[in-house]
Amino acid sequence: MQERELARRTQHFFRDEVEWHCAHMTACECGICPLWNDYRISTLGGVREYESCKTLPDETPFFGGVWVDVIEEYSRLDLTYVGDTLPALSGLAKRVEIFKPGRYIAGLWGKDIAYLLAWNLAPNEENTHPLRTQAAGPSFSWIKAPRRVDWPYWSRDDPIKIMGKLQSVDCDLATANPYGEVLACSIQLRSRVICGRIFNDLVTEALAKYMETNPMSYGRFTDAEWGNVRRTWEDVVYLELYQVYKGKHVMALLLQKEAGERNVCTRLGVINRAPARWFDEHGVEEVITVV
């Protein structure tokens, strides 16, 4: 992928026509390709989009939104070796460093990290990359996802409000390449959290008065096999990432506490559009380490 996208110009010779790609446009002899220029942001097209990031407020996750387009396309690919997931992307990662996106964190960036952490497994698809779950790396990164990943839709007309703040990063790299394979990594996030539990194989909020809300809508974006999830009270943590729909709903990380650790967690998935009132009424601000 990066060989194609980092090239200044690419020309494809098909049976019936020729197609051209460059940093300014995509064109073909039949005329269909230009119609997609305004809708599909390729990595090279994204470089043009990155320029406008400098004029946006810090809380506007536009840089993250373009990086998401890169990863959604990249996660479709089938690599021969699981360990190549990050090295095969390192050229693109290095390319966007000029836009000061913060620290590179196992396929994510420090800038807009709260937005980037809200990836989920593409629904209704088979696990085409099952070996990725066994690869080295943190649970919070898409690099361990067993299939294609995507992100919740975000509209510029409805700006999100970032709630999760990155406090620190600790990464153990396999090589001297800062964009290469990661052996282990952890991040510390400061945000409002709520303790919860697993109930009848579905995620529910800990407080009984919210039990009437259909828990399926909050538990569908999970990465873990439910048989491997401990079902004890206060084992599960909801960490607020950002607010949407004018502050009425929340995107939150669904985390599970590590045994014997108070504020160290691994990722189980994300909670999509949870009521913001949960966190307004019962959220407690804490610093959580996610590994």
pLDDT digits (tens, 9 = 90+) for 71-99: 988 888 877 777 888 998 998 888 888 77
Give the separation between CA 31 and CA 236, rounded to whole angstroms: 52
169 in a structural domain: no
Domain count, the chain: 2
Query: Could you tell me the residue range of the domain that residue 91 belongs to?
Result: 2-6+18-156
Distances (CA, A) of 194 to 8, 255, 276, 282, 289: 48, 10, 12, 7, 15
Task: Answer whether residue 211 shows pLDDT above 60.
Answer: no
Report the pLDDT averaged over residues 151-165: 83
Specify whether 257 is located in the same domain as 131: no
Report the pLDDT averaged over residues 50-65: 58
Percent of the chain residues topping a pLDDT of 70: 69
This prediction's pTM: 0.76
Contact 56, 160 (CB under 8 A): no
Specify whether 219 is located in the same domain as 278: yes
pLDDT at 121: 85
Specify whether 75 is located in the same domain as 124: yes
Strand partners, 203: 198
167 in a structural domain: no
Give alpha helix (H) positions in 7-134: 43-51, 62-74, 90-96, 113-116
Q: pLDDT tens digit string along 226-251? A: 445 554 445 678 899 999 888 888 99
178 in a structural domain: no
Task: Answer whether residue 49 shows pLDDT above 80.
Answer: no
Give the separation between CA 111 and CA 113, rounded to whole angstroms: 5
Band of residue 69 on the pLDDT scale cut at 50, 70, 90: confident
Of 49-53, 85-89, 154-158, 281-285, least confident by mean pLDDT is 49-53
Specify whether 105 is located in the same domain as 222: no
Q: Determine how many CB atoms are found less than 10 A away from the CB of residue 70.
A: 21
Report the pLDDT averaged over residues 247-274: 86
The last residue of a domain, from among 117, 141, 156: 156
pLDDT at 56: 52
Strand partners, 109: 104
